């Protein structure tokens, strides 16, 4: 059965998009059929998968969501693109930000994305959603559509109010919209074990959440190779297959594969 996983955190720049791409492609390398959804009007996921100018695209996730919301006959698969490393993806551009503003004023709009995801589930083992940092109508849609939430955390940043906020959002959506939503876990990104701050942040987060929210064993190291791979439109496995970041994302993918088993 298809598992829907959101990579979500209310803080920006923590590695959500990078992790969605590398977990998604990691799952595809493990033989799974994977769809990545770009649920951010910045189109960063689309760019990380090689779309040079998302603004030039006619058919994006916004159009698919509008079609589903209006009950149009259009095939929601129409805009799906395929990346050279074996994942499918539905791209986004600024039209999604426009839709985001409109969604707030439409009754019942919280589950438009869920309706789209439900149409696409039969074709995939995993659907991974890359979301925006802000608290907007789309973030509610993302959590309403998902089975699991993965929360990337920068290990260089205190206080941890963003994790708290993200966990509270999940709890709220669990109560109101999606009782099956689970926190898949917190994982540390851009880790530099050599810094005292990094170790201190990890210690505090573990103390605050252990026994309550899963904290992944795997930590993603800071590596310039990761940033390079996004700019080149490829995964870390292709760009630097033997590097530490590729090993870490492989291990994280394995942890994700164990969900529900
Ligand atoms: P936003 O909130 O804007 O959507 P985000 O949470 O999706 O941001 P990313 O875009 O994935 O974060 O990452 C932010 C920046 O950090 C990008 O330039 C990315 O290339 C870089 N980055 C991500 N992971 C790593 C890493 N492990 N090592 C070094 N740089 C990284
Ligand atoms: Mg992003």
Q: What is the mean pLDDT of the chain?
A: 93
pTM of the model: 0.96
- Measured from the Cα of 21, ligand 1's closest atom is 11
| Ligand 1 atom nearest 224 alpha carbon | 29
DSSP letter for each residue of 67-96: HHHTT-SS-TTTT-EE-TTS-EEE---HHH
Which residues lie across from 81 on neighbouring strands? 89
What spacing in Å lies between the alpha carbon of 73 and ligand 2's midpoint? 31
Distance CA 108, CA 134 (A): 20
CB neighbourhood size of 257 (10 A): 17
For residue 163, what pLDDT is reported? 87
CATH of the domain at 79: 3.40.50.300
Residue 215's contacts (CB-CB under 8 Å, 6 or more residues apart) are 185, 186, 187, 205, 206, 209
Q: Is 220 in the pocket of ligand 1 (CB under 6 A)?
A: yes
Give yes or no for residue 205 having a pLDDT over 80.
Answer: yes
- Report the number of distinct structural domains present in the chain: 1
pLDDT of residue 159: 63
Instruction: Name residues with Cβ closer than 5 Å to ligand 2, which is an ion.
Output: 16-17, 44
Determine if residue 233 is left, alpha or beta; phi over 0 gives left, psi from -120 to 50 gives alpha, anything else beta.
left
pLDDT of residue 158: 65
Side-chain half-sphere exposure of 226, counting CA atoms within 13 A: 23
- Host domain of residue 169: 3-258
Instruction: Please report the pLDDT score of residue 259 as a whole number.
Output: 79
Residue pLDDT, tens place only, 92-149 = 999 999 999 888 777 789 999 999 999 999 999 999 999 988 777 899 999 999 999 9
Residue 30 sits at φ, ψ, to 5 deg, of -85, 10
Alpha-carbon separation of residue 127 from 43, 71, 145, 149 (angstroms): 17, 22, 10, 12
CA–CA separation, 250 and 242 (whole Å): 11
């Amino acid at each position: 059965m298809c598992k829907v996983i959101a990579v979500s955190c209310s803080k920006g720049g923590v590695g959500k998009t990078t992790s969605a791409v590398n977990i998604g492609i990691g799952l595809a390398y493990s033989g799974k059929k994977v769809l990545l959804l770009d649920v951010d009007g910045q189109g960063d996921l689309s760019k990380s998968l090689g779309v040079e100018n998302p603004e030039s695209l006619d058919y994006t996730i916004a159009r698919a969501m509008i079609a589903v919301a209006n009950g149009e006959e259009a095939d929601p698969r129409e805009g799906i693109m395929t990346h050279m490393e074996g994942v499918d993806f539905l791209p986004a551009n600024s039209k999604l930000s426009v839709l985001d503003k409109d969604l707030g004023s439409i009754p019942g709009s919280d589950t438009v994305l869920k309706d789209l995801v439900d149409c696409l589930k039969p074709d995939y083992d995993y659907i991974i959603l890359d979301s925006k940092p802000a608290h907007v109508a789309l973030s509610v849609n993302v959590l309403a559509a998902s089975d699991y939430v993965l929360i990337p955390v920068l290990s260089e940043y205190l206080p941890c109010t963003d994790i708290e906020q993200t966990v509270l959002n999940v709890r709220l959506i669990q109560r109101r919209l999606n009782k099956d939503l689970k926190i898949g876990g917190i994982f540390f990104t851009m880790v530099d074990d050599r810094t005292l701050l990094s170790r201190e942040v990890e210690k505090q987060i573990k103390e605050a959440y252990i026994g309550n929210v899963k904290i992944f064993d795997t930590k993603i190291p800071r590596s310039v190779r990761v940033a390079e791979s996004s700019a080149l439109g490829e995964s870390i496995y292709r760009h630097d297959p033997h590097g530490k970041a590729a090993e870490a994302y492989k291990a994280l993918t394995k942890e994700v594969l164990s969900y529900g088993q």
